[in-house]
Chains A and B, each alone.
Chain A
């Protein structure tokens, strides 16, 4: 028995180091990394500036998935043609970003703003309660329209255009179109955030506010408004992540998506170091790669189902044990 096992693992090891396997794992990892960066970037922006660890982030991602799915279903319908589906997707981007951003702004203004002067625990608690409410609201609405809240929403999944459903030849292996699309979307988002933070005046305010909110206020910046805008931006990004997941067979729009995305988002943000966008990007790539590698091993050699998910949290534990502030973290961020 044991010898068989050893043989199997050496075989698997040999086939892992072939160009086909390596390239497909690499691109799989990049695709996963862009998903992770999508679900985590909003969280890290909000934490870096305001010191609020937003437990409702996953719920907002789930809202985005349903809302985006709704737009797609309304526009594209049952038989997607490529241009219509892609056009619908970009319309959904605008709708989801706008709607979720508005929701986020209202939540910040109405609920979180009154308790900034309390210890950080209370902001965590507030968003935790918010997550309960949002999840249950989604469940009520979704089951009211006769959609199964626990399983992924098939109608939204089936609006995926054929152009993303087929595979593309790329060197020694072929890749699903959706992965390439996700990589592209993730890169665009990271580029957008980078440009916003470094190239615009508002980004300057944000960076100033996260370094020293008091000083920024003394210099005449309306930090409160910056907070609201960043919270809105963060929830908007959460919504976009949800929209991107609505086409992915492995995720799909469902109510449990909230918890399923919240935990990886936490892991990525914590590994990167709370509040650093660069750390989040690096951590996404790290986590995405480990996820892809362990998924490959699970598919080929190891029968333990929870392998990728377990490694996700193992990386968190290992990184924190080695670098207590995360990869790029500094000891004082956003009042922590």
Chain B
């Protein structure tokens, strides 16, 4: 399509390339199509990018207790991002090929432990000062290799058996990492970064001016355009950049011929095999790719938190959280799990945040006032006691209820339901839908205006 171009060389101004009018039109159409395809991505990115500023403005207003209670903190958003990446990698294998990888925490934990162990100088051949970006890639590669090993065994099985054998592998690793004394003084309580005082830096490896340190305490604030970005905000952007790159890579794979085969395996594996695809290698490849991104997510998690325990790295409930996020956000939608995690984490924080961060508990304490809290209800229990009993730290109860409601009534999750409404993926259909609505609204306004004019 772009082959017809003309080189016009002028003696004075060097040579330049010019297209004929037909090609120019084609380029314009194509780029417009590309922009439209990614419009939704850009909108979401924009929304994520201005969130810290929005949070800052809304929570520093005059009477902002409600906003403080409602909005997740920027630190929480960092956690949403890296865990969202893990949930997306879980969705990449489970939602697209239909093989429920119930031991996915093995890869997340491996990535996290790898980063902390390298920083503590416990991994041979790797110095603690190895650039964090390289560590992330290595963590991913390590997880991918591990996945090749696990997958070579596991993909002989299907259905529940597959889920259970991956769970078995992950739990073996969990017990091993929980009790292996080489890792640290008390491996049951997890390990923390002790060998490295500086924060892990995301950016161009080795160039300090082109990279930023992440972490709640180890991160560095940055002065930009006369205002200071806090350490959490800087981490938010740095982690977010990695997550976006990983998301785009996974999205690209899903839209490639390889991704078509993944979906074919989910829809009808026997038929995919019958038309000549060696599904075993496709499944193994998918598993390995998804493990790579899970490892990167684990590395980001360890880099930000600077510590990891067997319970928040390897335990099967970590996979359970990813499953929760995937179902709430939309199984087999890739972007859905990120929103699912945002919903899940936001709800948890809203319900059980304590201290200065706000949350429903603090909000109720502040706004109800002492007399209301001491009102006795049934059986002499005061409102305050009731609030303390049912809200303080019991978010899993409400998350569970929401989750069950989702399974019963919104089985396709948030993004999946929107997709079904629109009749296609959000990136493809949403712009058209929006422009339809806009034209309709504009037309309606015009009609109204002309009607008014006529009446005059």
Which residues from chain A sit less than 8 Å from chain B, CB to CB? 53, 111, 114-115, 118, 120-122, 124-126, 128-133, 135-137, 139-140, 144, 259, 263, 266-267, 270, 274, 304-306, 309-310, 313-314, 316-317, 320-321, 324-326, 336
Task: Report 24 cross-chain contacts, Cβ distance below 8 Å, ordered by A residue.
Answer: A53-B160, A115-B407, A118-B411, A125-B323, A125-B407, A128-B323, A130-B400, A130-B404, A132-B399, A133-B400, A133-B404, A135-B396, A136-B397, A263-B171, A263-B316, A267-B168, A304-B180, A313-B168, A313-B172, A313-B175, A314-B172, A324-B157, A325-B161, A336-B160
B175 to A132, Cβ gap below 8 A?
no
B161 to A270, Cβ gap below 8 A?
yes
By a CB distance below 8 angstroms, the chain A residues around B404 are 111, 126, 129-130, 133
Main secondary structure of the interface of B (DSSP, over half): helix
By a CB distance below 8 angstroms, the chain A residues around B87 are none
B9 within 8 A of A: no
Which residues in window 303-324 of B have CB below 8 A to A? 316-317, 320, 323-324
A316 to B167, CA, bound (A): 10
Main secondary structure of the interface of A (DSSP, over half): helix
B178 to A306, Cβ gap below 8 A?
yes
B160 to A140, Cβ gap below 8 A?
no
Chain A proximity of B345: nearest CB distance (Å): 15
Chain A proximity of B164: nearest CB distance (Å): 5
* Smallest Cβ-Cβ distance to A315: which chain B residue: B168
Given A132-B400, A266-B167, is A126 in contact with B408 using a C-beta cutoff of 8 Å? yes
Most buried by A among B160, B172, B176: B160
- 12 new A-B pairs (CB below 8 Å) besides A53-B160, A314-B168? A118-B411, A122-B407, A122-B411, A129-B403, A136-B397, A139-B394, A259-B317, A263-B316, A267-B168, A313-B171, A320-B153, A325-B161
* Smallest Cβ-Cβ distance to B381: which chain A residue: A144
Most buried by B among A121, A130, A140, A259: A121
B400 to A320, Cβ gap below 8 A?
no
Most buried by B among A53, A129, A135, A259: A129
By a CB distance below 8 angstroms, the chain B residues around A139 are 394
B390 to A140, Cβ gap below 8 A?
yes
* Smallest Cβ-Cβ distance to A53: which chain B residue: B160
Which residues in window 52-77 of B have CB below 8 A to A? none
A320 to B408, Cβ gap below 8 A?
no
Contact partner of A144 (CB less than 8 A), chosen from B164, B168, B175, B389, is B389
B397 to A320, Cβ gap below 8 A?
no
Chain A proximity of B243: nearest CB distance (Å): 25
B156 within 8 A of A: yes
B327 within 8 A of A: yes
A271 to B390, CA, bound (A): 40
A115 to B408, Cβ gap below 8 A?
yes
Given A140-B397, A306-B176, is A336 in contact with B323 using a C-beta cutoff of 8 Å? no
* Smallest Cβ-Cβ distance to B177: which chain A residue: A306
